[in-house]
Amino acid sequence: MQWYTGNALYDTLLIIGFAYAALIFGSSLFGTAAYGGRFGGGKRAKGIKLGSKLGWVLMELPGLIVFPVVFFMGTNADQLVPLIFLVIWMFHYTNRALVAPLLMRVQPGSTASFSLGVVIAGWITLLLHGYFNAAYITEFGSHYTKEWLQDPRFQLGLLIYATGFTLNVHSDRILRHLRSPNPSPDEPRYKIPYGGGFRWVSCPQYFGEILSFTGFAVMTWNLGAVFVLAVTAGNLIPRAIFTHRWFLKNFDDYPPERKAIIPYLL
């Protein structure tokens, strides 16, 4: 992968981006991001708070805007391989920014628990992520010719991406169906999820997310995609560990063989 593109703005921002990813990882070890019922409520949700659906849509929206804008400013925007990456990107972020939040089942009476600080941190990540990838794919990268489709990195990356995305969406679906479509206020907010990736770990949705970004980094073979993989792993691995401990503490009958995020390992 290419460290220096020769573009001072891009190269400087990339270094800052990796420092930011290290910061996210360091801070995640001391406490996970303040959103969601388990981690966003109570004292942690001080300041401006949003409802889950609004918080998610607002936070992820730059993912649907920055990438296409920068993409079409690049000289190779009309080439086949960059266009394939555009389709994958828009597919991914349509799910994350619109489909998943709108399908979410929110417990009535649960207070707004999405901190505005989390939304702003998400914007910083998505601005950098969208810019790094779009600018590299349509301007700085030189390997996105038609031959790239035959390259094992593209094919393996696509396979990893598809596996991760499927695991993520399937796990989100299992969690969603733990609540009735219109949950009543006296329905228990949390239950133990079973089936799919939950047979092995407490957070297969996070494992799937990390796999998707691993696949995207391999298939595009650029450091801008490694940046978001680092931010995602730095955020979601500690969050999975906190979530796993939360399950063990709150459910006496929690399956003891489950790991937090990586089957048999962690």
Ligand X SMILES: NC(=O)c1ccc[n+]([C@@H]2O[C@H](COP(=O)([O-])OP(=O)(O)OC[C@H]3O[C@@H](n4cnc5c(N)ncnc54)[C@H](OP(=O)(O)O)[C@@H]3O)[C@@H](O)[C@H]2O)c1
Q: Can you give the binding site for ligand X, defined by CB under 6 A?
A: 36-38, 52, 104, 107, 168, 172, 175, 178-179, 189-191, 193, 205-206, 209, 232, 235-236
Angle 204-230-225 from CA coordinates, rounded to 5°:
100
**Please, what is the minimum distance in Å from the beta carbon of residue 75 to ligand X?**
29
**Please, what is the minimum distance in Å from the beta carbon of residue 5 to ligand X?**
24
**Please, what is the minimum distance in Å from the beta carbon of residue 242 to ligand X?**
10
**Please, what is the minimum distance in Å from the beta carbon of residue 194 to ligand X?**
10
**Please, what is the minimum distance in Å from the beta carbon of residue 51 to ligand X?**
10
Q: Which is nearer to ligand X, 77 or 116 (CB)?
A: 116
Phi, psi of 265 (to 5 degrees): -115, -55
* Terminal-to-terminal C-alpha distance of the chain: 28
**Please, what is the minimum distance in Å from the beta carbon of residue 143 to ligand X?**
26
Q: Counting beta carbons within 10 angstroms of the beta carbon of residue 256, is it exposed (0 to 12), middle (13 to 18) or buried (19 or more)?
A: exposed
**Residue of closest CB approach to ligand X:** 37
> Could you tell me which residues are beta bridge partners of residue 49?
115
Q: Which is nearer to ligand X, 81 or 201 (CB)?
A: 201
Angle 7-215-232 from CA coordinates, rounded to 5°:
75
Q: Which is nearer to ligand X, 84 or 174 (CB)?
A: 174
**CB contact at 8 A, 205 and 164:** no
Q: Which is nearer to ligand X, 46 or 176 (CB)?
A: 176
Q: Which is nearer to ligand X, 81 or 229 (CB)?
A: 229
Q: Which is nearer to ligand X, 214 or 222 (CB)?
A: 214
